[in-house]
Chain A
């Protein structure tokens, strides 16, 4: 096995007492001395600072200097509408294979920085990034350049209801930034240049900030001077995103499912649902039409027993109808939460199910996602 990589904040995590674990080829903090439960609740009540520098960051730039050339090229690989992106806008989408299976999910932004408005900026999952880069290299046509920035740009996230107070104090313009838009500006007393988007993976209001490797540690140090900011590990990141009903690649989504089955139809615009010239277009169209295809739903176990990934889902007659793909304890819900795929006959909220936990059938209900309401700043 190759040696684990470290982010620029590694020494800071260790000094803070983090428990470090291998994750997607990196040594990452899974929790700090506060513990997953309190880290989770702190993020929902105040705000949490996450090191997500293991994620992949790259740019797609057309040699002809136009946005439309780059956008059209990327639209072959994702079911989103990229051409309509305005400078400063960001969109969630998925790389699909030719069968419509999900290769990865990602954020796509069109830069608004002067002279860079034709650049696309992508943030992809750490565990998929090398395949993603290879996929892009293979399928982007001549005249489109892929520029990978993992060796020079760190990525951190500040998430929670107090995030706007903290970053608004460091750079007043950030208070008014709306959900799924971004800006580039100097932030804080050292005027550190950041690419800041108002988005995240917790369901809370918050920001993701791309910061140069050489600046990120002192930038984090400045953020941690605010009393509402705590370092938060990957453990709480997982429970936060689960309560927010957000998919985790490799668990809730992978190459065996389409965005339609995964409940991500909202990320596929109407004009791309009826076939088209992109990878997976036929599957998207077919899965929308097919009333038999399975769906990812929220599942609320009754009682206190968590139902973990791979737990069998049965109907009340004992027939297997699906499997849990993410499940655990939701600290803000105060009980177990889960997501899983069920047959179309069982996708309606309120449907009763049984979860087979250690051989015992435990009652559960299909519920609407998210478990905890999203708290995005839509302006």
Chain B
């Protein structure tokens, strides 16, 4: 499995033609205490860059964008009752949704872990 990162701090971990999407550890730290997550409906269809989910901290709501286009195959329903999981395990149990990747070439525009780290260090 390879994990890619977007400049908007989403990650997508790719297994075959399905990607699991979440927000990065950098993003959860910047947001602070997460109190609500709205995940998309299963079956929802997104183009790359569409608003796909919402994450809310005490202070504000932020959009989570689809890092690639495709159809949502599964969502992390556990976040509804335990949104703080995104703070404690952003890269794992705090995943948001799974997407059937429509065009794998869209992954090429994303960063790998090393490039993303360099990107965050420069922010």
A, B: real partners: yes
Residues of A within 8 A of B (CB): 30-31, 35-38, 40, 235, 238-239, 304-306, 308, 328-329, 331, 336, 358
* CA gap between A303 and B61 in the complex, in Å: 16
* CA gap between A36 and B60 in the complex, in Å: 12
B83 in contact with A328 (CB, 8 Å) = no
B59 in contact with A305 (CB, 8 Å) = no
* CA gap between A305 and B80 in the complex, in Å: 9
* CA gap between A40 and B60 in the complex, in Å: 16
B32 in contact with A304 (CB, 8 Å) = no
Instruction: Produce 1/0 per residue, B33-64, CB < 8 A to A.
Output: 10110100000000000000010111111000
CB contact list, B63-86 vs A, under 8 A: 80-81, 83
Nearest CB of A to B76, in Å: 15
**A305 contacts which chain B residues (CB < 8 A)?**
36, 38, 56
**A235 contacts which chain B residues (CB < 8 A)?**
32, 58-59
**B33 contacts which chain A residues (CB < 8 A)?**
35-38, 331
Chain B residue at smallest Cβ distance from A335: B35
* CA gap between A35 and B31 in the complex, in Å: 10
* CA gap between A62 and B61 in the complex, in Å: 49
**B58 contacts which chain A residues (CB < 8 A)?**
36-37, 40, 235, 239, 328-329, 331
Given that A329-B56, A358-B54 are known contacts, is A304 also in contact with B61, CB under 8 Å in the complex? no
Nearest CB of B to A250, in Å: 16
B36 in contact with A37 (CB, 8 Å) = no
**B60 contacts which chain A residues (CB < 8 A)?**
308
Give 18 new A-B contacts, CB below 8 A, not counting A235-B59, A304-B80, A304-B83.
A30-B59, A31-B32, A35-B32, A35-B33, A36-B57, A36-B58, A36-B59, A37-B32, A37-B58, A238-B59, A239-B58, A304-B35, A306-B56, A308-B61, A329-B56, A329-B57, A331-B33, A336-B36
Nearest CB of B to A196, in Å: 30
Nearest CB of B to A55, in Å: 21
Given that A329-B56, A358-B54 are known contacts, is A306 also in contact with B61, CB under 8 Å in the complex? yes
A36 in contact with B32 (CB, 8 Å) = yes
6 contacts between A and B (CB under 8 A): A37-B58, A40-B58, A239-B58, A304-B36, A304-B80, A305-B36
Instruction: Produce 1/0 per residue, B82-94, CB < 8 A to A.
Output: 0100000000000
* CA gap between A358 and B35 in the complex, in Å: 17
